[in-house]
Amino acid sequence: MHRLRQGDARRFDRRSASVLAAAVLVGLTACSGSQVSDSLAPETPEPDATAPVPQPAVTAPVAADPTAPAVTAPALGTPPPTAEPSPAPTSEWEVIFNDEFDGPAGTAPSQWHPLAGWNGASLDGQGRLQVDRLAQLRSNSGWSLPAGTRVRTTVSLVMPDTGSNYAAFWVQHPSPVDPREIDVIESYGPSKPAGAQVGSHICYDDSPETAANACAATGRGPELWPVADAFPQGAGPWDVPWEYAAEFTIGGDTVWFSAADGTGNELYSVTTLPDPRRVPSNTIPLHLRLSNKDVVKRYAVRGGKQHGMFVDWVRVEVDYP
């Protein structure tokens, strides 16, 4: 017998129709006076092997197994079972370093130390760290984290506005052999074409063992992205404090940079090209750095009044695998 899709009329030859009519007549005669309450269900069509199967699949009801235990519906008025409350969501980030720079003016920061031959920095008494010219600081703490750990470093600060010095907040492997550096934010001031930028270094041209441009010649040049154009007019990195962040995974190959205001409005978002050499590993503890250096004299330009960098707070968060 030819089958059509459900809902279509079925075709019968004349002989089949006659047999069916006779059977119905006999049934009605035998059950005279009784009422038929069940309707004849349409025959389920065979599935088309070539047609796609919709998801989720809908199956027809199946007759109950006479040997299966009976299932009793709950009595009317029985309250539905109470679901167990879901556990309160927990933050995936854990703070492992935080410095708010609170303390009397002129006090040295307790979680940082100056590098040999460089100036230190001091609290300004207003909840900020003042990092003046020729200062280089490193965090006392360093971290060797398991592979797969997500790391987020964030800082809130105001940069110098002069064209004769540049300042930065960065993450570094303090090793001349493996100097992986992430510049969370670096500023040359509004008078310079670069203005402000983010990026990374895995080699230094000014180190004793390298000659000028030797890093680029060996495929280890810096990767830098200018970001000054992302800031509103009159509210640049040297005008008002912004929150700058870099996020990466230990053992990964990319770094994500961003900047936002105090209410979470994002100014820019930059992701580096994949390169595992530019992401801190767990073989050497990573540290935080704050610096404010003079540029080479031939690159200095006039302008600006604020030589210092003012840091509101610094934070490191991790998400362990």
pLDDT tens-place string over residues 71-129: 333 333 434 444 455 455 455 899 999 999 999 999 999 999 999 999 999 999 999 99
Residues in the chain where the model's pLDDT stays below 50: 1-83, 86, 89
For residue 22, tell me if it sits in a domain.
no
Q: State which residues form the domain around 222.
A: 94-319
Q: How far apart are alpha carbons 250 and 321 in whole angstroms?
A: 10
**175 is written with which tokens?**
């090793």
pLDDT at 43: 36
Whole-Å CA distances, 191 to 159, 196, 225, 293, 299: 13, 11, 17, 16, 11
Query: Does residue 227 fall inside a structural domain?
Result: yes
Return the pLDDT at 175.
83
Q: What confidence score (pLDDT) does residue 120 get?
A: 97
> Residue 196 belongs to a domain with what CATH number?
2.60.120.200
* Domain total of the chain: 1
Whether residue 278 is contained in a domain is answered as: yes
Sorted by sequence, the CB contacts under 8 Å of residue 272 that are 6+ apart come out as 199, 200, 223, 254, 255, 256, 257, 278
Whether residue 272 lies inside any domain: the answer is yes
Whether 1 is in a domain gets the answer: no
pTM: 0.71
What confidence score (pLDDT) does residue 167 get? Answer: 97
Whether residue 223 is contained in a domain is answered as yes
Q: Which has the closest alpha carbon to 226: 204, 202, 201, 199?
A: 199
20 within a domain of the structure (yes/no): no
pLDDT at res. 183: 97
Burial of 107 (0-12, 13-18, 19+ CB in 10 A): middle
> Which pLDDT score, from 0 to 100, does residue 15 have?
39
Res 57: pLDDT: 32
Query: Residue 261: its pLDDT value, please?
Result: 92
Q: Considering the domain boundaries, does residue 177 fall inside one? A: yes
